[in-house]
């Protein structure tokens, strides 16, 4: 990448092309579609957190007037143990099928058992009451400590812990154990002058997307079936649904609607396979929607975690060893991001001696799903809390300690490769020089600093740019737009083509109109789909040059493309994009550019957050009074949306740190399944979140882009947690820092 490159559009704060429709209510979300003859699907959910299904009789419901079809696990024709990709990585398709509709056991309160499609929602709901289910209720396992005990009730009798040298003789709720190590931690701790060792706990939290899961489907026995749904990845919806229903991929068309938030939670399927079964059996289009209660009880949250962290440092500030043992809840089926926690926990540090042990543990809660940097916030919370305490005990400024030990280009990571160019040092320096950090704290206020690391990914993206005879064009991409990516794609295409932004219309193609695209996740879209856009636009430019060359009777290499026009360097002449497109019929037909990439070289993004809090010592209520989010974007294509990602990640992380948690009773029933009781931050809870964009270019992207969507949620847990502890003079070890928990700490301190 040329550092001297001058941009016309990149780095501008343009108007998002989808903005008008969204603020005026014209945008179509998944629940907005209605089809002729459409009926309604509803789901019967388990009233128990752990039980065997002894009997499931749907005959009375099927006989009810207005009921059109019924679905149970037995309607899933093909479920095996093959892996299917989802937001957290691969998921076992048998587990996916059993999560969509329970087979012989219900494994969490709200687990889907059967579904009804009827002419009205009311009939469907009434018919659910006629389904006869007999259960043998089992003791639920709701806590990591309990689940990991050798004599704990088992969720899966056939699950043996993977990752030990010998397969254990007895089944366990521990699905897997992994270990990452580098150097010699014992020797490292022996070198240390100060050692900090603490236990930390983080709760189950939800992504809190405002739009619940919804879909409308139409099964076609003779040809192509259709799914219209809210998803981060319609190609993955097609793959999962087709797998569960044993359908050829080509027989299923999935259309991604506008999406009202996902944050990782919309990278798997819940309703779509069920709705297709109901549609197939009834011969009618079927609409299904979760309500908020169902979203909380039956869609995938982020893992609760318990971890022990130990860090050691010398008086001169050198961190000599870092160690952690991490257990993550996977929910009802294996597959938490525990190992990702181990891979990320200490990556912000250049430490020679690191050891991480991770456990993936099943419990009677919904199967976890991805949530922004899945697995990283929990582990890095413990690591950053411990590093801040180490700085305090060593008498070193927490930013200085981090700067002294910061990961940089060439730093060896515990998960394998050495880091390429990264911007952690630049973020820490920006934090230290920020007006926020230079602000003196007042009596009763506390401050926390934390770093965050996320890998970012690339992967497969495909884009087509179709030029129109008037010189305008359509950018067809396959990445559902969650955070304003259409604007970024428009800007990158315009940058290459040199034509006005509004001459290019970005749209999200369905699974038939564009080749395969991985989901919008992993902070990959601006990076990887952006590369495909650039490639497609360059393809268009080449074709425009060839068409101009043919009209001038010169060779294409005698034509230059400059500011949206072809220049004849072999003679005189200039033609605009519109003039060339107007003649396309006479020069060879349609001008279309394609870009198909399997992008590699995604640049990790580091973030550093600074948080100041004030605590009401009588009630334990925490106010965040100042907050600054600093992050390396590589190159900010659209600075406003980059800042929005920083602020959004910070807001969600502050919610995770302060108030959000699933509260279960002893029977495994979630007691706060609604936004009144599950408290995500409101605008009135937050100060203005200041942002600083750091730009250390990623040399693998033509413009230097790094993904920015995930790192921002990592630092808030420790930045807020440490600030609360600093304000009250106590150690915070458990999130959220809700008023009762903070008040208890204040009272214990005396």
Partner 1 sequence: MLSAACVEVDPRKRLDVSMAMVFFSGELQRFTGEEKTSVVALNYRELLGELHNKYPDLKNSEITEMAIAIDGEIVHEPLLELIPEAAELHFFHFIAGG
Gyration radius (Cα) of the chain, Å:
27
Q: State the nearest-atom distance from the C-beta of 373 to partner 1, in Å.
A: 6
**Residue 386 structure tokens:** 């411990």
Strands (E), 147-193: 174-182
Contact 401, 194 (CB under 8 A): no
Q: How far is the CB of 528 from partner 1 (least distance, A)?
A: 11
Which DSSP helix (H) or strand (E) runs through 360?
Answer: strand 354-362
From the list 17, 264, 564, 593, which residue makes contact with partner 1 (rule: CB under 8 A)? 264
Single out the residue of 76, 155, 227, 339 in contact with partner 1 (rule: CB under 8 A): 339
415 binds partner 1 (CB under 8 A): yes
Cα(570)–Cα(573) distance, rounded to whole angstroms? 9
628: phi then psi, degrees, rounded to nearest 5: -130, 130
Minimal distance, residue 91 CB to partner 1, in Å: 10
State which residue, 62 or 184, has the beta carbon closest to partner 1: 184
Phi and psi, residue 158, nearest 5°:
-105, 15
Cβ(27)–Cβ(18) below 8 Å: yes
Which one among 69, 72, 86, 320 touches partner 1, defined by CB under 8 A?
Answer: 86
Smaller CB separation from partner 1, 124 or 338: 338
* Residue 601 engages partner 1 in binding (rule: CB under 8 A): yes
Q: Is 90 in the site for partner 1 (CB under 8 A)?
A: yes
- Tell the smallest beta-carbon distance from residue 491 to partner 1 (Å): 23
Helix, strand, coil in percent for the chain, rounding step 5: 30, 25, 45
Residue 273 or 337: the one with the smaller Cβ distance to partner 1 is 337
Rank residues 80 and 684 by Cβ distance to partner 1 and give the closer one: 80
Query: Which residue's entry shows tokens 């983080």?
Result: 202
Q: Does 81 bind partner 1 (CB under 8 A)?
A: no
Nearer to partner 1, 398 or 604 (CB): 604
d(CA 512, CA 519): 15
Rounded to 5 degrees, φ, ψ at 121 are: -65, -40
Burial 421-443 (b: 16+ CB within 10 A, else e): bbbbbbbbbbbbebebbeeebee
Q: d(Cα 281, Cα 245) in Å, to the nearest integer?
A: 13
**Closer CB to partner 1, residue 411 or residue 538?**
411
Instruction: Answer yes or no whether residue 29 interacts with partner 1 by CB under 8 A.
Output: no
Tokens of 391: 């700085």
Among 61-69, 83-91, 572-580, 638-646, which window interacts with partner 1 (CB under 8 A)?
83-91
Over the window 458 to 497, marking each residue x when it contacts partner 1 by CB under 8 A and - when it does not, the resulting string is xx--------------------------------------
Q: Is 370 in the site for partner 1 (CB under 8 A)?
A: yes
What is the rounded distance in angstroms from the CA atom of residue 713 to the CA atom of residue 641? 15
Residue 471 and residue 499 in contact, taking contact as beta carbons nearer than 8 Å: yes
Q: By rule CB under 8 A, what string of x and - marks binding of each residue 133-172 to partner 1? A: ------------------------------x-x-------
Measured from the Cβ of residue 723, the count of other Cβ atoms closer than 10 Å reads 33
Site for partner 1 in 423-462 (CB under 8 A): 454-459
**CB neighbourhood size of 8 (10 A):** 14
State how beta strands 445-454 and 605-615 pair. antiparallel
Interaction of residue 245 with partner 1, rule CB under 8 A? no
Q: In angstroms, what is the minimal distance from the CB of 211 to partner 1?
A: 16
DSSP H helical segments within 476-583, as ranges? 485-497, 530-552, 577-582
CB of 670 to partner 1, least distance (A): 21
The CB-of-174 to partner 1 minimum distance in angstroms stands at 15
Give the number of other Cβ atoms within 10 Å of residue 333's Cβ: 24
What distance in Å separates the CA atoms of residue 185 and residue 164, rounded to the nearest whole number? 21
Instruction: State yes or no: residue 531 binds partner 1 (CB under 8 A).
Output: no
Rounded-to-integer distance, Cα 99 and Cα 750, Å: 47
Which is nearest to 341 in space by CA: 418, 265, 453? 453
Our CB check for partner 1 shows the closer of 73 and 454 to be 454
- Of residues 5, 314, 315, 418, which one binds partner 1 by CB under 8 A? 418
Q: Which of 286, 354, 270 is CA-nearest to residue 96?
A: 270
Assess 526 for contact with partner 1 (CB under 8 A): no
Span near partner 1 by CB under 8 A; candidates 379-387, 416-424, 631-639, 720-728 = 416-424
Q: Decide: 606 and 633 in contact? Cβ < 8 Å.
A: no
* Residue 373 in the binding site for partner 1 (CB under 8 A): yes
Torsion sign over Cα 635, 639, 641, 642: positive
Closest to partner 1 by CB, 415 vs 552, is 415
Residues in the chain: 750
> How many helices (DSSP H) and strands (DSSP E) are in the chain?
21, 28
Q: Which stretch binds partner 1 (CB under 8 A): 196-204, 269-277, 596-604, 719-727?
A: 596-604
Tell me how far, at minimum, the Cβ of 273 lies from partner 1, in Å: 21
Residues of span 696-715 touching partner 1 by CB under 8 A: 700, 710
Select 218 or 485, whichever has its Cβ closest to partner 1: 485
Residues within window 173-202 making contact with partner 1, judged by CB under 8 A? 178-181
Binding to partner 1, residues 198-217 (CB under 8 A): 207
Figure out which of the listed residues 267, 299, 324, 511 binds partner 1, where binding follows CB under 8 A.
Answer: 267
Size of residue set near partner 1 by CB under 8 A: 47
3-class DSSP assignment, residue 436: helix
Asked if residue 522 binds partner 1 (CB under 8 A), the reply is yes
Q: In the complex with partner 1, which residue's Cβ is closer, 274 or 340?
A: 340
Considering beta carbons, is residue 369 or 390 the nearer one to partner 1? Answer: 369
Backbone φ/ψ region at 395: left (φ over 0), alpha (ψ -120 to 50), beta: left
Q: Shortest approach of partner 1 to residue 69 CB, angstroms?
A: 34
Q: How far apart are CA 515 and CA 338, in angstroms?
A: 33
605 binds partner 1 (CB under 8 A): no
* Shortest reach from residue 180's CB to partner 1, in Å: 5
Site residues for partner 1 per CB under 8 A: 85-90, 163, 165, 178-181, 207, 263-265, 267, 339-340, 343, 370-374, 415-420, 454-459, 521-524, 598, 600-602, 700, 710
């Amino acid at each position: 990448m040329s550092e001297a490159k001058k941009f016309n559009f990149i780095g501008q704060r343009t108007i998002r092309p989808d903005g008008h429709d969204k603020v005026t209510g014209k945008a179509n979300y998944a629940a907005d579609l209605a089809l002729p003859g459409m009926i309604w699907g509803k789901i019967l959910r388990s009233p128990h957190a752990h039980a065997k299904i002894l009997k499931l009789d749907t005959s009375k419901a099927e006989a009810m007037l207005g009921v059109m079809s019924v679905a149970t696990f037995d309607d899933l024709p093909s479920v095996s143990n093959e892996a299917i990709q989802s937001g957290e990585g691969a998921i076992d398709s048998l587990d996916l099928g059993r999560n969509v509709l329970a087979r012989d056991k219900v494994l969490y309160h709200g687990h889907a058992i059967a579904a009804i499609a009827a002419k009205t929602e009311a009939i469907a709901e009434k018919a659910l009451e006629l389904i006869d289910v007999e259960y043998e209720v089992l003791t639920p396992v709701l806590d990591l400590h309990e689940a990991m005990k050798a004599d704990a009730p088992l969720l899966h009798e056939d699950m043996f812990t993977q990752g030990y040298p010998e397969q254990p003789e007895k089944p366990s709720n521990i699905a897997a154990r992994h270990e990452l190590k580098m150097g010699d931690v014992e020797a490292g701790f022996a070198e240390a002058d100060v050692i900090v060792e603490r236990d930390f706990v983080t709760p189950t939290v939800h992504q809190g997307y405002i739009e619940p899961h919804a879909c409308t489907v139409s099964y076609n026995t003779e040809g192509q079936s259709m799914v219209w749904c809210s998803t981060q990845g319609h190609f993955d919806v097609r793959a999962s649904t087709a797998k569960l229903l044993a359908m050829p991929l080509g027989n299923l068309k999935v259309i991604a609607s506008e999406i009202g938030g996902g944050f990782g939670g919309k990278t798997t399927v819940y309703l779509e396979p069920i709705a297709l079964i109901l549609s197939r059996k009834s011969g009618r289009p079927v609409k299904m929607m979760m309500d908020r209660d169902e979203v909380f009880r039956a869609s995938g949250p982020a893992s609760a975690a318990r971890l022990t962290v130990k860090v050691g440092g010398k008086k001169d500030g050198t961190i000599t060893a870092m160690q952690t043992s991490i257990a993550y809840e996977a929910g009802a089926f294996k597959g938490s991001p525990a190992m990702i926690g181990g891979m990320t926990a200490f990556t912000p540090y250049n430490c020679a001696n690191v050891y991480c042990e991770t456990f993936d543990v099943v419990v009677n809660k919904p199967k976890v799903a991805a949530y922004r940097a899945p697995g990283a916030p929990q582990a890095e919370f413990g690591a950053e809390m411990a590093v801040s305490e180490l700085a305090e005990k060593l008498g070193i400024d927490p930013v200085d300690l981090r700067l002294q030990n910061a990961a940089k280009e060439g730093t060896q990571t515990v998960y394998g490769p050495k880091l390429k160019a990264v911007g952690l040092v630049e973020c820490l320096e920006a934090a230290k020089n920020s007006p926020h950090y230079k602000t003196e704290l007042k009596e009763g206020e506390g401050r926390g600093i934390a770093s965050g690391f996320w890998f970012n990914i690339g992967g497969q993206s495909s884009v087509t740019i179709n030029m129109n005879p008037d010189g305008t064009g359509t950018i067809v991409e396959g990445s559902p737009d969650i955070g304003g990516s259409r604007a970024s794609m428009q800007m990158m295409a315009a940058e290459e083509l040199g034509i006005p932004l509004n001459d290019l219309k970005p749209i999200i193609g369905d699974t038939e109109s564009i080749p395969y695209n991985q989901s919008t996740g992993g902070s990959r879209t601006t990076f990887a789909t952006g590369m495909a856009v650039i490639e497609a636009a360059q393809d268009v430019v080449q074709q425009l040059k060839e068409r101009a060359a043919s009209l001038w009777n010169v060779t294409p290499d005698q034509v230059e493309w400059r500011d949206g026009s072809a220049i004849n360097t072999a003679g005189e002449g200039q033609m605009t994009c519109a003039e060339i497109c107007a003649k396309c019929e006479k020069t060879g037909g349609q001008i279309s550019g394609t870009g198909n990439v399997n992008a590699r070289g995604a640049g990790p993004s580091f973030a550093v957050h600074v948080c100041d809090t004030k605590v009401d010592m009588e009630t334990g209520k925490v106010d965040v009074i100042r907050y600054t989010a600093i992050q390396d974007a590589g190159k900010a294509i659209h600075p406003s949306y980059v800042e929005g990602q920083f602020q959004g990640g910070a807001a969600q992380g502050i919610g995770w740190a302060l108030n959000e948690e699933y509260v279960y009773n002893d029977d495994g029933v979630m007691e706060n399944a609604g936004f009144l009781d599950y408290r995500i931050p409101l605008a009135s809870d937050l100060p203005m979140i200041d942002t600083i964009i750091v730009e250390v270019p990623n040399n693998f992207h033509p413009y230097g882009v790094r993904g920015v969507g995930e790192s921002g949620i990592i630092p808030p847990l420790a930045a807020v947690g440490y600030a609360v502890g600093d304000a009250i003079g106590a150690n915070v070890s458990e999130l959220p820092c809700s008023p009762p928990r903070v008040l208890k700490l204040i009272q214990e301190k005396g």
